[in-house]
Amino acid sequence: MSKKVLVTGGCGFIGRQVAEELLDNGYSVVVLDSLVEQVHGEARAATQQKVEYRFGDVRDPQAVRAALSGVDMVVHLAAEVGVGQSMYEISRYVGANDLGTAVLLECLIDRPVERIVVASSMSVYGEGLYRSKDGARFDAARRRKEQVQAGQWEPLHADGRPISPVATDEEKPVDLASIYALTKYAQERAVLIFGEAYPVEAVALRLFNVFGPGQALSNPYTGVLANFASRLANGERPLVFEDGNQKRDFVHVRDVARAFRLALEQKRADGQVINIGSGNAYSIRQVAEIVAEAMEAPELEPEILGKARAGDIRNCFADISKARELLGFRPQYRLEDTVGEFARWVRDVGAVDNAAKMRRQLEERGLVS
C-alpha cells in the first residue's frame, strides 16, 4: 500500500511539482491550500488528477486535522514568500508562516506522522559565506545601511579587508536580515524541535532561488526570473537593484521537487538542515540578460537602479555537498539549459507586470535606499 503524503501549500508553484513527483513515484497525495490571491489570482487553482484537495487555511485547526486523516508523511510548504513585502506586511508573514506551522505541529501531536519535511530558505543565512585573501573563512559579513547608501555594495571584513563570496554551507551561522528570513527560521526550528520531542522524524530543506514554469508571474515579490520575464513580456526592461553584480544560486523546481521526495525517503536526513540549490552562482545582471535572450528581447537591457532594498543581501549561493551525501541529490536542470522552456511558457500564459508597483510600494515606505 502506498504512503499518503499531505502537501501544505500544494497548489503553489513548488507544491504542484512536489505533488507530481510524489505521484510519479507511487505515493498518494493530499493537498491543503488556501489559494492566496497574490499567488493564484482570482481563479481557482488548476487541479491534478489523483490528488485529493482540501481548500483551507493552515492556521485553521479543523482544516488541518481533516487534511491529516490517514496521512503517513507531511511536506510543509504553506507560507507567504517575499523579502521586500515581509518588511511592511509583518503580521501577515508571521501569521501565515509561524502561526500556521504552530497549528500544524499541534495537530500532529494527536495525529502523528512518520516524517515531516519543511521548506526553509537560504534567506536565513543573511549574507553568504566569504573568505579573505589568505583563505580564512568569514561568516559574519553584513552591510551597514550607510555603506549601501554610499554605493559600496560588497561587504568587507570587520577590519576593513576585502573578502570574496564562496559557496555557503550549513555550518554558516544564520543572520536574519528580513522579517521573511525570521519567519522561515522560526518554521525550520519549530519543526526540528518538534521532531526531537515527539516520535516524528523532521527535516528542513533550505531552498535557494527556485525557478521554472508555473511561477506566479503577477507576484513581484517572489521569483526574480518571473519578475524579469514579466517585464520583458510586456516590452519593459528588467529592474535590477544595486549594480547587478550580486550573486545568487538558481535551482530548477523539478530538482527541488525531487529533493523533497528524497528527504521523505532517506533515513539519514532525520533531524538535519540541508541546502537545496544548483551549486552554481549567477550574477543578477547575467540572469536578466539570459532571460532577455530567451524571451527574444536582447535589446531590452536591464535597468540598473543603483539602489538597494531593505533586507536584501549581496551574495549567497549554495554548497550542496550535504544534500549529495545525505539525500543522493544531484541537480539535473541547469539555468542555461532550461530558460528557453521557461520563456516559452511565459509567452504562452502571458504575464502582468507588477514590478513598478512593487518598487513604488517599497519606496513609499522608505525601504529602498
pLDDT at 82: 82
Q: Which residue in the block uniquely carries the three cell numbers 509567452?
A: 347
Q: Is the residue at 368 inside a domain? A: no
Question: With b meaning 16 or more CB within 10 Å and e meaning fewer, what string describes 11-30?
Answer: bbbbbbbbbbbbbeeebbbb
- What mean pLDDT comes out for the span 98-120? 97
pLDDT digits (tens, 9 = 90+) for 151-169: 899 999 988 889 999 999 9
Number of domains in the chain: 1
From CA 141, how far away is CA 366, in angstroms rounded? 24
**Band of residue 311 on the pLDDT scale cut at 50, 70, 90:** low
* Burial of 228 (C-beta count, 10 Å sphere; 0-12/13-18/19+): buried
pLDDT at 42: 42
Q: Of 27, 93, 125, 180, which one is the catalytic site residue?
A: 180
From CA 204, how far away is CA 106, in angstroms rounded? 18
pLDDT at 352: 63
pTM metric for this prediction: 0.91
Q: Is the residue at 338 inside a domain? A: yes
Q: Is the residue at 71 inside a domain? A: yes
**CA nearest neighbour of 118 among 222, 223, 263:** 263
Kindly report the CATH number assigned to the domain that includes residue 232.
Answer: 3.40.50.720
Bridge partners for 74 per DSSP: 6, 116
| Position 66 pLDDT exceeds 50 | yes
Q: Is the residue at 353 inside a domain? A: yes
Q: Is the residue at 63 inside a domain? A: yes
pLDDT at 308: 86
Q: Is the residue at 52 inside a domain? A: yes
pLDDT at 233: 85
Whether residue 180 lies in the annotated active site = yes
Which three three-digit cell numbers place residue 310? 531593505
From 120-124, 214-218, 334-338, the region with the lowest mean pLDDT: 214-218
Task: Give me the domain span that covers residue 60.
Answer: 4-362
Q: Is the residue at 208 inside a domain? A: yes
Average model confidence (pLDDT) for the chain? 90
| Position 37 pLDDT exceeds 80 | no
- What mean pLDDT comes out for the span 186-193? 98
Q: What proportion of the chain, given as a percentage, has pLDDT over 70? A: 89
Q: Is the residue at 174 inside a domain? A: yes
